[in-house]
Amino acid sequence: MQELTIRRPDDWHLHLRDGDMLESVLPHTSRHFARAIVMPNLVPPVATTADARAYRQRIEKALPEGDSFTPIMTLYLTEDTQAEDVVSGFQGGTISAVKLYPAGATTNSHNGVRDIEAVYPVLERMAEAGVPLCVHGEVTDSEIDIFDREAVFIERVLHPIRQHIPGLRIIMEHITTSDGIDYVESSPEGIAGTITTHHLIINRNAILVGGIKPHYYCLPIAKRESHRLALRRAATSGKKRFFLGTDSAPHLDTDKESACGCAGVFSSINTLSCLAHVFEEEDALDRLEAFVSLNGPGFYGLPVNEETIRLVRRQQPVDYPERIETASGPVTVFDPMFPLYWDVA
Ligand SMILES: NC(=O)N[C@@H](CC(=O)O)C(=O)O
Ligand SMILES: [Zn+2]
Ligand SMILES: [Zn+2]
Protein backbone atom coordinates (compact mmCIF):
# COMPACT_ATOMS: atom_id res chain seq x y z
CA MET A 1 0.00 0.00 0.00
CA GLN A 2 1.33 3.43 -0.95
CA GLU A 3 -1.53 5.62 0.24
CA LEU A 4 -4.09 5.53 2.97
CA THR A 5 -6.99 7.87 3.71
CA ILE A 6 -8.39 7.75 7.23
CA ARG A 7 -10.64 9.90 9.37
CA ARG A 8 -8.74 12.71 11.08
CA PRO A 9 -7.19 11.25 14.24
CA ASP A 10 -7.44 12.33 17.88
CA ASP A 11 -4.84 12.08 20.64
CA TRP A 12 -6.34 10.72 23.87
CA HIS A 13 -3.39 11.69 26.11
CA LEU A 14 -1.34 14.81 25.42
CA HIS A 15 0.76 17.34 27.35
CA LEU A 16 0.53 20.84 25.90
CA ARG A 17 2.09 22.68 28.88
CA ASP A 18 1.60 26.46 29.05
CA GLY A 19 3.15 29.77 27.97
CA ASP A 20 6.10 29.56 25.53
CA MET A 21 6.07 25.78 25.45
CA LEU A 22 2.36 25.68 24.61
CA GLU A 23 2.93 28.11 21.73
CA SER A 24 5.76 25.97 20.36
CA VAL A 25 4.21 22.51 20.62
CA LEU A 26 0.51 23.08 19.93
CA PRO A 27 0.89 23.57 16.14
CA HIS A 28 2.50 20.12 15.86
CA THR A 29 -0.66 18.55 17.24
CA SER A 30 -3.29 20.81 15.68
CA ARG A 31 -1.80 20.24 12.21
CA HIS A 32 -2.84 16.58 12.21
CA PHE A 33 -5.19 15.94 15.12
CA ALA A 34 -8.79 17.12 15.49
CA ARG A 35 -9.00 16.74 19.27
CA ALA A 36 -6.83 15.81 22.21
CA ILE A 37 -7.34 14.97 25.84
CA VAL A 38 -5.17 17.62 27.47
CA MET A 39 -3.33 16.59 30.61
CA PRO A 40 -3.79 18.82 33.66
CA ASN A 41 -0.32 18.45 35.24
CA LEU A 42 0.66 22.10 35.00
CA VAL A 43 2.34 23.89 37.89
CA PRO A 44 0.03 24.57 39.72
CA PRO A 45 -2.27 21.83 38.41
CA VAL A 46 -5.57 22.32 36.59
CA ALA A 47 -7.57 21.34 39.65
CA THR A 48 -10.94 23.05 39.26
CA THR A 49 -13.44 23.64 36.49
CA ALA A 50 -12.52 27.33 36.59
CA ASP A 51 -8.84 26.41 36.05
CA ALA A 52 -9.81 24.17 33.12
CA ARG A 53 -11.89 26.91 31.51
CA ALA A 54 -9.02 29.40 31.78
CA TYR A 55 -6.48 26.85 30.45
CA ARG A 56 -8.74 26.00 27.52
CA GLN A 57 -8.87 29.70 26.61
CA ARG A 58 -5.07 29.91 26.68
CA ILE A 59 -4.87 26.89 24.36
CA GLU A 60 -7.44 28.37 21.98
CA LYS A 61 -5.48 31.62 21.90
CA ALA A 62 -2.26 29.79 21.03
CA LEU A 63 -3.88 27.88 18.15
CA PRO A 64 -2.46 28.74 14.70
CA GLU A 65 -4.89 30.60 12.39
CA GLY A 66 -6.92 28.23 10.31
CA ASP A 67 -6.30 25.08 12.37
CA SER A 68 -9.43 23.49 13.72
CA PHE A 69 -8.57 21.71 16.93
CA THR A 70 -10.62 21.05 20.04
CA PRO A 71 -8.84 20.63 23.35
CA ILE A 72 -10.70 18.20 25.60
CA MET A 73 -10.07 19.29 29.15
CA THR A 74 -9.36 17.19 32.24
CA LEU A 75 -9.14 17.90 35.96
CA TYR A 76 -6.26 16.87 38.18
CA LEU A 77 -7.67 14.82 41.03
CA THR A 78 -6.46 15.80 44.50
CA GLU A 79 -7.64 14.82 47.94
CA ASP A 80 -9.38 18.22 48.04
CA THR A 81 -11.32 17.81 44.77
CA GLN A 82 -14.99 18.71 45.22
CA ALA A 83 -17.41 16.26 43.58
CA GLU A 84 -19.89 19.10 42.86
CA ASP A 85 -17.24 20.98 40.87
CA VAL A 86 -16.38 17.86 38.85
CA VAL A 87 -19.99 17.02 38.07
CA SER A 88 -20.99 20.57 37.18
CA GLY A 89 -17.86 21.01 35.03
CA PHE A 90 -18.69 17.78 33.21
CA GLN A 91 -22.38 18.51 32.76
CA GLY A 92 -21.59 22.06 31.62
CA GLY A 93 -19.21 20.69 28.97
CA THR A 94 -15.99 22.27 30.30
CA ILE A 95 -14.30 19.04 31.31
CA SER A 96 -14.58 15.53 29.92
CA ALA A 97 -12.55 13.45 32.36
CA VAL A 98 -10.65 13.49 35.65
CA LYS A 99 -7.02 12.41 35.92
CA LEU A 100 -5.60 10.33 38.76
CA TYR A 101 -1.91 10.81 39.48
CA PRO A 102 -0.62 8.78 42.42
CA ALA A 103 1.43 11.38 44.35
CA GLY A 104 5.04 11.27 43.20
CA ALA A 105 4.47 8.84 40.31
CA THR A 106 5.53 11.14 37.47
CA THR A 107 6.21 14.71 36.28
CA ASN A 108 4.31 17.29 38.38
CA SER A 109 2.40 14.71 40.39
CA HIS A 110 3.28 15.91 43.90
CA ASN A 111 -0.26 17.28 44.35
CA GLY A 112 -1.71 13.90 43.37
CA VAL A 113 -3.48 11.31 45.49
CA ARG A 114 -1.72 9.71 48.45
CA ASP A 115 -4.58 7.68 49.90
CA ILE A 116 -6.82 6.31 47.16
CA GLU A 117 -9.67 5.58 49.54
CA ALA A 118 -9.79 9.29 50.41
CA VAL A 119 -11.08 9.97 46.90
CA TYR A 120 -13.59 7.10 46.71
CA PRO A 121 -16.52 9.46 47.47
CA VAL A 122 -15.55 11.65 44.48
CA LEU A 123 -15.09 8.57 42.28
CA GLU A 124 -18.55 7.34 43.29
CA ARG A 125 -20.12 10.64 42.25
CA MET A 126 -18.18 10.49 38.98
CA ALA A 127 -19.53 7.00 38.29
CA GLU A 128 -23.10 8.18 38.87
CA ALA A 129 -22.62 11.18 36.58
CA GLY A 130 -20.71 9.22 33.90
CA VAL A 131 -17.41 11.12 34.28
CA PRO A 132 -14.50 8.92 33.12
CA LEU A 133 -11.31 8.55 35.15
CA CYS A 134 -7.96 8.67 33.36
CA VAL A 135 -5.24 6.89 35.30
CA HIS A 136 -1.46 7.06 35.52
CA GLY A 137 -1.14 3.47 36.65
CA GLU A 138 2.01 3.14 38.74
CA VAL A 139 2.51 2.66 42.45
CA THR A 140 5.11 4.82 44.11
CA ASP A 141 6.23 2.63 47.02
CA SER A 142 10.00 2.82 47.23
CA GLU A 143 10.33 -0.94 47.69
CA ILE A 144 8.63 -1.69 44.36
CA ASP A 145 10.99 -2.00 41.42
CA ILE A 146 10.35 0.67 38.77
CA PHE A 147 9.75 -2.04 36.13
CA ASP A 148 7.02 -3.65 38.28
CA ARG A 149 5.16 -0.52 39.26
CA GLU A 150 2.42 -0.83 36.64
CA ALA A 151 1.64 -4.48 37.39
CA VAL A 152 1.55 -3.81 41.13
CA PHE A 153 -0.72 -0.81 40.58
CA ILE A 154 -3.25 -3.01 38.80
CA GLU A 155 -3.36 -5.42 41.71
CA ARG A 156 -3.22 -2.93 44.60
CA VAL A 157 -5.09 0.11 43.29
CA LEU A 158 -6.90 -0.37 39.98
CA HIS A 159 -8.61 -3.66 40.68
CA PRO A 160 -9.87 -2.55 44.12
CA ILE A 161 -11.28 0.68 42.57
CA ARG A 162 -13.15 -1.40 40.00
CA GLN A 163 -14.46 -3.82 42.62
CA HIS A 164 -15.62 -0.99 44.83
CA ILE A 165 -17.06 1.27 42.09
CA PRO A 166 -17.93 -1.00 39.16
CA GLY A 167 -19.82 1.74 37.31
CA LEU A 168 -16.76 4.00 36.98
CA ARG A 169 -15.45 4.26 33.42
CA ILE A 170 -11.65 4.05 33.47
CA ILE A 171 -8.92 4.69 30.93
CA MET A 172 -5.66 3.03 31.86
CA GLU A 173 -3.33 5.46 30.16
CA HIS A 174 0.00 4.74 28.50
CA ILE A 175 -0.08 0.98 29.12
CA THR A 176 3.47 -0.42 29.00
CA THR A 177 3.06 -4.05 30.05
CA SER A 178 1.35 -7.23 28.93
CA ASP A 179 -0.21 -7.18 32.42
CA GLY A 180 -1.99 -3.93 31.52
CA ILE A 181 -3.12 -5.30 28.15
CA ASP A 182 -4.37 -8.53 29.75
CA TYR A 183 -6.21 -6.62 32.45
CA VAL A 184 -8.12 -4.48 29.94
CA GLU A 185 -8.86 -7.42 27.66
CA SER A 186 -10.09 -9.66 30.43
CA SER A 187 -12.30 -7.03 32.05
CA PRO A 188 -15.88 -6.41 31.07
CA GLU A 189 -16.87 -3.14 29.33
CA GLY A 190 -16.05 0.06 31.15
CA ILE A 191 -12.26 0.02 30.98
CA ALA A 192 -10.03 0.94 28.05
CA GLY A 193 -6.33 1.52 27.55
CA THR A 194 -4.28 4.04 25.64
CA ILE A 195 -0.92 3.15 24.13
CA THR A 196 1.79 5.63 23.17
CA THR A 197 3.68 5.72 19.90
CA HIS A 198 7.08 5.37 21.55
CA HIS A 199 6.15 2.31 23.62
CA LEU A 200 5.29 0.52 20.36
CA ILE A 201 8.82 1.25 19.12
CA ILE A 202 11.30 1.16 22.00
CA ASN A 203 12.00 -1.26 24.79
CA ARG A 204 14.22 -0.54 27.80
CA ASN A 205 17.39 -1.19 25.84
CA ALA A 206 16.82 2.12 24.05
CA ILE A 207 17.32 3.92 27.36
CA LEU A 208 20.20 1.93 28.77
CA VAL A 209 22.35 0.18 26.17
CA GLY A 210 25.50 1.95 24.96
CA GLY A 211 25.13 4.83 27.41
CA ILE A 212 22.16 6.51 29.10
CA LYS A 213 19.79 8.02 26.56
CA PRO A 214 17.68 10.54 28.42
CA HIS A 215 15.40 11.30 25.48
CA TYR A 216 13.95 7.78 25.74
CA TYR A 217 13.25 8.12 29.45
CA CYS A 218 9.59 8.49 30.22
CA LEU A 219 7.10 7.17 32.73
CA PRO A 220 5.90 4.53 32.85
CA ILE A 221 9.38 3.47 31.80
CA ALA A 222 9.69 1.29 28.67
CA LYS A 223 9.81 -2.39 29.68
CA ARG A 224 11.38 -5.52 28.19
CA GLU A 225 10.76 -6.65 24.61
CA SER A 226 7.98 -9.13 25.39
CA HIS A 227 5.89 -6.25 26.74
CA ARG A 228 6.51 -4.12 23.66
CA LEU A 229 5.31 -7.00 21.51
CA ALA A 230 2.14 -7.32 23.60
CA LEU A 231 1.48 -3.59 23.12
CA ARG A 232 1.95 -3.97 19.37
CA ARG A 233 -0.48 -6.87 19.21
CA ALA A 234 -3.11 -4.91 21.13
CA ALA A 235 -2.69 -1.65 19.20
CA THR A 236 -2.84 -3.33 15.81
CA SER A 237 -5.65 -5.73 16.75
CA GLY A 238 -8.41 -3.27 15.95
CA LYS A 239 -9.99 -4.11 19.32
CA LYS A 240 -12.28 -1.32 20.43
CA ARG A 241 -10.83 -0.75 23.86
CA PHE A 242 -7.30 0.17 22.75
CA PHE A 243 -6.51 3.53 21.21
CA LEU A 244 -3.80 6.13 20.75
CA GLY A 245 -2.68 8.44 23.51
CA THR A 246 0.69 9.76 22.35
CA ASP A 247 1.68 11.06 25.79
CA SER A 248 3.78 13.54 23.85
CA ALA A 249 5.40 15.28 26.82
CA PRO A 250 7.87 18.05 25.94
CA HIS A 251 10.67 19.03 28.28
CA LEU A 252 13.55 21.40 27.53
CA ASP A 253 16.69 19.53 26.51
CA THR A 254 18.50 21.12 29.45
CA ASP A 255 15.97 19.43 31.78
CA LYS A 256 16.31 16.04 30.07
CA GLU A 257 20.10 16.03 29.63
CA SER A 258 20.80 16.38 33.31
CA ALA A 259 22.03 14.41 36.31
CA CYS A 260 18.36 14.05 37.24
CA GLY A 261 16.58 14.18 33.90
CA CYS A 262 12.82 14.70 33.50
CA ALA A 263 10.51 11.94 32.27
CA GLY A 264 8.74 12.50 28.96
CA VAL A 265 9.11 11.92 25.21
CA PHE A 266 8.10 14.61 22.71
CA SER A 267 6.55 12.84 19.72
CA SER A 268 3.67 14.87 18.33
CA ILE A 269 5.60 15.90 15.19
CA ASN A 270 6.31 12.44 13.77
CA THR A 271 3.75 10.31 15.60
CA LEU A 272 1.57 9.52 12.59
CA SER A 273 4.60 8.64 10.45
CA CYS A 274 5.87 6.35 13.21
CA LEU A 275 2.47 4.70 13.65
CA ALA A 276 1.97 4.06 9.94
CA HIS A 277 5.44 2.45 9.94
CA VAL A 278 4.55 0.21 12.88
CA PHE A 279 1.17 -0.79 11.45
CA GLU A 280 2.77 -1.53 8.07
CA GLU A 281 5.37 -3.75 9.76
CA GLU A 282 2.55 -5.61 11.49
CA ASP A 283 0.63 -5.89 8.21
CA ALA A 284 -2.21 -3.98 9.84
CA LEU A 285 -2.46 -0.68 7.97
CA ASP A 286 -6.17 -1.37 7.53
CA ARG A 287 -6.53 -1.17 11.33
CA LEU A 288 -4.64 2.10 11.82
CA GLU A 289 -7.86 4.11 11.56
CA ALA A 290 -9.48 2.11 14.37
CA PHE A 291 -6.52 2.84 16.65
CA VAL A 292 -6.10 6.55 15.92
CA SER A 293 -9.58 7.73 14.85
CA LEU A 294 -12.41 5.38 15.81
CA ASN A 295 -11.87 3.55 19.10
CA GLY A 296 -11.14 6.63 21.22
CA PRO A 297 -14.34 8.54 20.41
CA GLY A 298 -16.19 5.25 20.75
CA PHE A 299 -15.09 4.83 24.34
CA TYR A 300 -15.50 8.49 25.28
CA GLY A 301 -18.97 8.55 23.67
CA LEU A 302 -18.04 11.28 21.18
CA PRO A 303 -18.75 11.44 17.44
CA VAL A 304 -15.96 10.37 15.10
CA ASN A 305 -14.36 13.10 12.99
CA GLU A 306 -15.85 13.67 9.56
CA GLU A 307 -12.72 15.14 7.94
CA THR A 308 -10.02 12.84 6.62
CA ILE A 309 -6.24 12.88 6.30
CA ARG A 310 -4.18 11.17 3.64
CA LEU A 311 -1.04 9.24 4.48
CA VAL A 312 1.43 8.72 1.64
CA ARG A 313 4.42 6.40 1.48
CA ARG A 314 7.32 8.43 0.04
CA GLN A 315 10.25 7.07 -1.96
CA GLN A 316 12.73 8.96 0.23
CA PRO A 317 12.75 9.22 4.04
CA VAL A 318 10.56 11.99 5.40
CA ASP A 319 12.34 15.02 6.83
CA TYR A 320 11.45 16.11 10.31
CA PRO A 321 13.50 18.23 12.71
CA GLU A 322 15.68 16.55 15.33
CA ARG A 323 14.58 19.23 17.77
CA ILE A 324 12.26 22.20 17.83
CA GLU A 325 13.10 25.62 19.18
CA THR A 326 11.10 27.23 21.95
CA ALA A 327 11.61 30.63 23.55
CA SER A 328 13.34 28.86 26.47
CA GLY A 329 15.52 26.49 24.45
CA PRO A 330 15.38 23.38 22.26
CA VAL A 331 13.19 20.29 22.75
CA THR A 332 14.34 17.03 21.16
CA VAL A 333 11.88 15.13 18.96
CA PHE A 334 11.37 11.37 19.42
CA ASP A 335 13.85 9.46 17.24
CA PRO A 336 12.46 6.03 16.31
CA MET A 337 15.97 5.00 15.16
CA PHE A 338 14.77 4.03 11.67
CA PRO A 339 13.91 6.17 8.66
CA LEU A 340 10.26 7.11 8.23
CA TYR A 341 8.65 6.88 4.81
CA TRP A 342 5.02 7.54 5.67
CA ASP A 343 4.03 11.17 5.57
CA VAL A 344 0.82 13.11 6.10
CA ALA A 345 -0.03 14.65 2.71
N1 LIG B 1 5.01 10.47 30.54
C2 LIG B 1 6.00 11.13 31.09
O3 LIG B 1 7.10 10.59 31.20
N4 LIG B 1 5.85 12.40 31.49
C5 LIG B 1 4.63 13.16 31.55
C6 LIG B 1 3.76 12.77 32.70
C7 LIG B 1 3.04 11.45 32.51
O8 LIG B 1 2.26 11.29 31.58
O9 LIG B 1 3.22 10.53 33.32
C10 LIG B 1 5.00 14.65 31.65
O11 LIG B 1 4.14 15.45 32.01
O12 LIG B 1 6.14 15.00 31.33
ZN1 LIG C 1 1.44 9.47 33.15
ZN1 LIG D 1 1.34 11.85 30.11
Identify residue 277 by its one-letter amino acid code: H
The C-alpha atoms of residue 197 and residue 332 are separated, in whole angstroms, by 16
Q: What is the pLDDT of residues 312-336, one digit of tens each?
A: 999 999 999 999 999 999 999 999 9
| 130 pLDDT above the threshold of 90 | yes
Q: State which of 22, 38, 43, 107 you would mutate to test the pocket of ligand 1, scoring each by most atoms of that ligand within 8 A of its C-beta.
A: 107
Taking residues 236-263, report their average pLDDT: 98
Question: Is pLDDT at 1 greater than 90 in this prediction?
Answer: no
The answer on pLDDT for 85 being more than 90 is yes
Catalytic, 247? Answer yes
* Cα–Cα dist 52/227, whole Å: 35
As a whole-number percent, the residues of the chain with pLDDT over 90 amount to: 99
Smallest-distance ligand from the CA of 36: 3
Query: Residue 249 — very low, low, confident or very high, per pLDDT cuts 50/70/90?
Result: very high
Residues with C-beta less than 6 Å from any ligand 1 atom: 15, 41, 106-107, 136, 218-219, 247, 249, 263-264
- 15 CA: nearest ligand 1 atom: 11
- Residue 88 C-alpha to ligand 1 middle, in angstroms? 27
User: Which H, E and C letters describe 192-213, residue by residue?
Assistant: EEEECCHHHCCCCHHHHCCCCC
Nearest atom, ligand 1, residue 264 CA: 3
Is 168 annotated as ligand-binding?
no
Residue in 247, 248, 267 to alter for ligand 1 test, most ligand atoms within 8 A of Cβ: 247
Which ligand 1 atom is at minimum distance from the Cα of 13? 8
How confident is the model over 70-89, as a mean pLDDT? 98
Q: What is the pTM of this model?
A: 0.98
Residue 105 has pLDDT above 90, yes or no: yes
SS3 of residue 323 by DSSP: strand
Instruction: Choose among 106, 241, 234: nearest CA to 171.
Output: 241
> What residues does each domain of the chain span?
3-344
**Per-residue pLDDT at 234 exceeds 90:** yes
The answer to whether 263 is a known ligand-binding residue is yes
CA-nearest residue for atom 11, ligand 1, is 107
User: What is the Å distance from ligand 3's center to 163 Cα?
Assistant: 26
Mean pLDDT of 197-226: 98
50: Cβ contacts below 8 Å, ≥ 6 apart? none
CATH topology of domain 3-344: TIM Barrel (3.20.20)
pLDDT in tens, 169-209: 999 999 999 999 999 999 999 999 999 999 999 999 999 99
Distance, CA 218 to ligand 1 centroid (Å)?
Answer: 6
Atom 2 in ligand 1: which residue has the minimum CA distance? 264
The SS3 call for residue 17 is coil
| pLDDT tens sequence across 251-292 | 999 999 999 999 999 999 999 999 999 999 999 999 999 999
Catalytic annotation, pick one of 247, 253, 335, 343: 247
Mean pLDDT of 37-45: 98
